[in-house]
Chains A and B, each alone.
Chain A
Amino acid sequence: MSPRADLPRWADIGLIPLANVLLAFIAAGLIVLAIGQNPFDAVAIMLDGALGSPEGLGYTLYYATNFVFTGLAVAIAFHAGLFNIGGEGQAYIGGLGVGLLLLRFDHSLTWGPLLPLATLAALLFGAAWASIPAWLQAYRGSHVVITTIMFNFLASSLMVYLMVNVLNQHGATNPETREIAASATLPFIHQILAGLGIPMVHTPLNLSILLAALASVFVWVYVWHTPWGYELRTVGQSERAALYAGVRPRRVIVATLCMSGALAGLVGVNEIMGVQHRLLLNFNAGYGFTGIAVALMGRSHPLGVALASVLFGILTQGGAELAFEIPAIDRDMVTVIQGLVILFSGALAHLSRPWLEALFALASRRTAALRSAE
């Protein structure tokens, strides 16, 4: 056993995720090399595609907005010791809530008053969808990982049923609703910038990125700066200590999972009110699952989640560019690269820790030796 040092906090939070991403890129690079392409070119195309133009940047941040919502959802549940795999379904149902509200009121209200209402609808629908697994976990001991996965399938089936049989337009064969009135949709960032006299290309980035920022601040305040957050973290650390402290762990579990579902539901605001402007199938597009990786990588801290969301935004947008530029690297290949990042920052999150710890121990002994030599 080689001597190790505890890592300083900045290394724990900053360096380890960075090392993990680096490892993921090395592994991905080897795969790119194996199919006969230059990995450095691939990285350059990815970064340029994601960050090199206002258009790429807009897409990157639009994806990141969704990842923030689902990442926060997973993160807040983590703090209570719960693993919410159901972000996918909760986002889907959250979108349903937004869609139903907009379809009902889009001709009577403008987006200004509708935004808080749509947000509320997304929160409520997402929370409601999470509440059943939450109740089952707290009062019946059914593991939340299992039930939330099953609820993803249920959400998917429910949406297909609704879109095919109930909500689709009269006479149309497409499983989607009518378009929402333009006055009721969220302004795009390029529209806002145009209003200020700054020209910008059209991207799906819209006002809900501010909602993502607000949600991040909310989670930070709630978890670390309220008595309820204190109780939530106590339950996550030790249910017995929580019982001792007069906390009712079951209530906290239900409340936290509902909040988690509500956060995931906010994807609906971005997608339905911000981008798609109608209800349709599969707008949740895997954001819920990526949220798990985002939360793992962001160490369940809102700031970390935001940074990880941007990284996954870059991967998603840059990956699309990559598939376009280098035909040998197709969409599946891009999925492999994203999968590697998830693997290294999630499942193998502590792979690099012993090496870094040994490195820090070596460094601290060096400085100690230098000091004693003086």
Chain B
Amino acid sequence: MTRAGSTAPAVELRHIDKRFGEVHANRDVCLAVRRGSITGVVGENGAGKSTLMSILYGFYEADGGEILIDGTPRRIRSPSDAIGAGIGMVHQHFMLVESFTVLENIMLGAEGGAILSRGAAAARREVERLERDYGLGVDPDARVSELPVGAQQRVEILKALYRGAETLILDEPTGVLTPQETDQLFRVLASLQRRGATVILITHKLREIMAVTDEVHVMRAGRVVASRKTAETSEQELAELMIGRKIRLARNKTPAAPGPPLLTVSHLSLHDERGVRRLDDVSFALAAGEILGIAGVSGNGQSELLEVLAGIRPPETGGFLLDGREVTAERPCPPAEMRALGLAHVPEDRRRLGLVEHFAASESAVLGYQRDPAYSRGWLLDHGAVRRHCAALMEAFDVRPRAPSLRSASFSGGNQQKLIIARELERRPKVLLVGQPTRGVDIGAIELIHRELLKHREVGAAILLVSVELEEIMALADRILVMCGGRIVGEIAAAEADERRLGLLMANARPLPANEAPPGGGDLTPA
């Protein structure tokens, strides 16, 4: 089958419809992807873009509509059908066996017969050819667990190409990457495009859409609401299309007026169960009325820092002073006491720490405060009070749907997060720990969350903000610490921060010469 000459779209979706019970995830979606293009699909969380791609990749079957590949209708009922149709997918969370080498991962599921070595030799030749063609820069004999995240992602791309993918779907590919790794990914995508491959990029980051795509489709509430040539649109227009109204991301306008330090961390160190050093001599002070941002690639000690400061883990060596209470290995402070001291914690892992997915929203809305007499009558839980409390939080933070009895898992990420933040801010904490407040959260919710965080800074709360979103940190923080390998590797005042400097610190690299600056690296002002 020669496809290069054909003018039919590489992928065309016609009238795709999909329901999950009450949720209408895709409504009459029509979308064409031009052969050899990089096409973006943007939308808020829950807009239906992941569902659509899962239908294209055969995870779900659509209730209605059809899929055309190169102009011919195809039934795609499983991922192997999709692979057969030349579609490959790189998932947000990599599907790699960490203890295997790159080559072993690529062969997995396509071993080629009972004798492994024969298949391996053939696979190696093919991988070397792909490497020459696309220049992905991965060593086939490297162990996946030893590769940086960006390289693991390229292994996923290689895996798809090895299976003959001509159309590659990338689902939120940059969430785990440093800015430098993101740039490298984009160079790889451009080289794929030069070789005639088609790329579908799913993301909610508009800057990436503007940087690499040729065409972009905007989804909202299960529909495609607009399709544009990237050159003829703007970030602002796309953002408005995504949420259906004008947005104004919160800006850190007022200058900080830091008060006395409320949290002083000194020489904090921690090893995990396997003896790996997670925190290495961390010291800093956090004052009332300021937001201190902690930037870093995820997995560099930020999670452990939050857990220690929240009392979930005791410090190993060193310690911290929280509003006069000294916390050390000898004098640990459990989370309940931390809360009593006026500390609140919006955890990074919203779904496993921040709430209990199986519980009703009203029950999740008292997590951590379950012993509060406000929710009890004598020895019994007062479910009425718990529900009323939840309804009030939902009203104040616009959590949708306003259904306290609905299971926590049934809410979208953004609404779960709004509920958690509502719960943690309700008691006007003196010190607030916030981890990844807007990960997987839609723009409308981001707006609200940022506004609330700034509001609490105004009234004198000390806020520690851990985020992998540099834009978020730069927008909110007054000072920025960068963590790498469990250490604080730098501090930058927010006014002087730019994405490139932070990125280099995050990778713990020395500054590049000026002519190697990544494209668009210095441009900080989002539209």
Chain A residues engaging chain B, CB cutoff 8 angstroms:
1, 3, 5-6, 221, 224-227, 229-231, 233-234, 237-238, 240-241, 243-246, 248
Contact = CB atoms under 8 A, between A and B. Distances in A.
B21 A5 contact: yes
B284 interface: no
A238 B352 contact: yes
B334 interface: yes
B21 A6 contact: yes
A244 B335 contact: yes
A245 B336 CA distance: 7
Nearest to A234: B356
A241 B61 contact: no
Nearest to B377: A225
A109 B63 CA distance: 72
Secondary structure class of chain B's binding surface, majority of residues: loop
Given A227-B370, A230-B363, A246 B353 contact: no
B77 interface: yes
A225 B381 contact: yes
Chain B interface category by residue count = 35 or more
A237 B380 CA distance: 21
A224 B382 CA distance: 10
Closest 9 CB pairs between A and B?
A: A246-B336, A246-B335, A245-B368, A244-B353, A237-B356, A245-B367, A230-B370, A227-B370, A237-B358
A1 B18 CA distance: 14
16 contacts: A3-B61, A227-B375, A227-B381, A230-B366, A230-B381, A231-B370, A233-B356, A237-B359, A238-B357, A240-B349, A243-B335, A244-B354, A244-B367, A245-B335, A245-B367, A248-B334
B27 to A, nearest CB: 15
Given A240-B353, A243-B335, A246-B335, A3 B63 contact: yes
B78 to A, nearest CB: 8
A275 to B, nearest CB: 34
B312 interface: yes
Contacts of A237: 356-359
A231 B375 CA distance: 14
Contact of A244 (B345, B358, B375, B376): B345
A242 to B, nearest CB: 9
Interface string B353-394: 111111100010011101100011001110100000000000
A189 to B, nearest CB: 32
B339 interface: yes
Nearest to B379: A226
A79 to B, nearest CB: 11
B387 to A, nearest CB: 13
Contact of B380 (A225, A231, A248): A225
Given A238-B353, A248-B334, 13 more contacts: A1-B77, A6-B21, A225-B380, A229-B381, A237-B358, A237-B359, A240-B353, A243-B335, A244-B335, A244-B368, A245-B367, A246-B311, A246-B339
Contacts of A226: 379-381
A327 B375 CA distance: 61
Contacts of B359: 233-234, 237
B315 interface: no
A216 B2 CA distance: 71
Nearest to B376: A227
A234 B363 CA distance: 10
Nearest to A230: B370
A233 B367 CA distance: 11
Main secondary structure on chain A at its contact with chain B? helix
B166 to A, nearest CB: 25
Contacts of B136: none
B506 interface: no
A317 B381 CA distance: 40
B90 to A, nearest CB: 23
Contacts of B353: 238, 240-241, 244
Nearest to A365: B63
B347 interface: yes
Contacts of B41: none
B367 A241 contact: yes
Interface in B1-54: 21
Contacts of B347: 244
A345 to B, nearest CB: 22
Given A6-B21, A227-B370, A246-B368, A241 B381 contact: no
Contacts of B366: 230
Most buried by B among A6, A237, A244, A248: A244
A126 B496 CA distance: 66
Interface string B314-357: 00000000000000000000111011000001010100111111
A243 B311 CA distance: 9
Interface string B199-236: 00000000000000000000000000000000000000
Interface in B58-89: 60-61, 63, 77
Nearest to B364: A241
B502 interface: no
B427 to A, nearest CB: 14
A221 B354 CA distance: 25
Which interface residue of A225, A229, A234, A241 has the most chain B CB atoms within 10 A?
A241
A225 B383 CA distance: 8
A224 B345 CA distance: 26
B356 A241 contact: yes
Contacts of A1: 60-61, 77
Interface in B86-134: none
B309 interface: no
A225 B380 CA distance: 5
A357 to B, nearest CB: 11
Contacts of B354: 241, 244
Nearest to B357: A237
Contacts of B355: 241
A123 to B, nearest CB: 18
Contact of B356 (A229, A238, A243): A238
A230 B365 CA distance: 12
B310 interface: yes
A244 B358 CA distance: 16
Nearest to A231: B370
Contacts of B312: 243-244
A244 B370 contact: no
A246 B380 contact: no
Nearest to A224: B381
A244 B310 contact: yes
A372 B133 CA distance: 55
Nearest to B313: A243
A233 B363 CA distance: 11
A246 B341 CA distance: 13
Contacts of A234: 356, 359, 367, 370
Nearest to B19: A3
Contacts of A241: 352-356, 367
Contacts of B356: 233-234, 237-238, 241
A68 to B, nearest CB: 23
Contacts of B345: 244
A305 B453 CA distance: 47
B313 to A, nearest CB: 9
B499 to A, nearest CB: 32
B339 A240 contact: no
Contacts of B367: 234, 241, 244-245
A234 B357 CA distance: 10
Nearest to B335: A246
